[in-house]
Amino acid sequence: MKTLTTLTATVLLGTSGLSMAQSMQMPMKPTASASAAAMSLVNGEVRKLDPITGLIVLRHGDIPNLAMPAMTMGFEIADKKMLDGFKVGDKVRFQAEMVKGKATVTELHAVK
Ligand SMILES: [Cu+2]
């Protein structure tokens, strides 16, 4: 009985360890998983972008996690590489967070 209990605990630990590893990989793999959907991507349209300075201006819908209504505004970009392939007028879905006091796009997806 004691052995069985220890085994169960080990299995549970192993499972939670795995899901933790998966969630830590999330920012690296912005694929359409259940977790990504739960992070409430926001609809937007590219109005301006500057890959040199890492600035993007988006006309965006409500951003619940920033308590922000729809507007057009500039964002920092978490990684300038994220702007690769985007151009003015592109429809996007994105995730924004406050990073060091600045509204920063942390995820950016093209909408086809
Ligand atoms: Cu805004």
Task: Please report the pLDDT score of residue 3 as a whole number.
Answer: 57
Task: Please report the pLDDT score of residue 81 as a whole number.
Answer: 95
* Dist. CA 11 → ligand 1 center (Å): 45
Task: Please report the pLDDT score of residue 31 as a whole number.
Answer: 45
Structure tokens, 21: 């590893």
Task: Please report the pLDDT score of residue 83 as a whole number.
Answer: 96
pLDDT of residue 34 exceeding 50, the answer is no
Distance CA 59, CA 70 (A): 7
Kindly state the helix (H) or strand (E) to which residue 74 belongs, with its residue range. strand 71-77
Q: How crowded is residue 80: how many other Cβ atoms within 10 Å of its Cβ?
A: 15
Asked if residue 44 lies in contact with residue 92, where contact means CB atoms within 8 angstroms, the answer is yes
Residues bordering ligand 1, an ion, CB closer than 5 Å: 68, 71, 73
Report domain 39-110's class. Answer: mainly beta
Phi first, then psi, for residue 84 (nearest 5°) are -55, 125
Residue-wise pLDDT for 61-74, tens only, equals 999 999 999 999 99
Task: Please report the pLDDT score of residue 40 as a whole number.
Answer: 77
Determine if the pTM surpasses 0.85.
no
Average pLDDT on 94-112 reads 95
Please tell me which residue, 20 or 50, carries the higher pLDDT value: 50
Task: Please report the pLDDT score of residue 39 as a whole number.
Answer: 60
* Dist. CA 60 → ligand 1 center (Å): 7
* Dist. CA 5 → ligand 1 center (Å): 52
Distance CA 30, CA 37 (A): 10
Task: Please report the pLDDT score of residue 112 as a whole number.
Answer: 83
* Dist. CA 65 → ligand 1 center (Å): 11
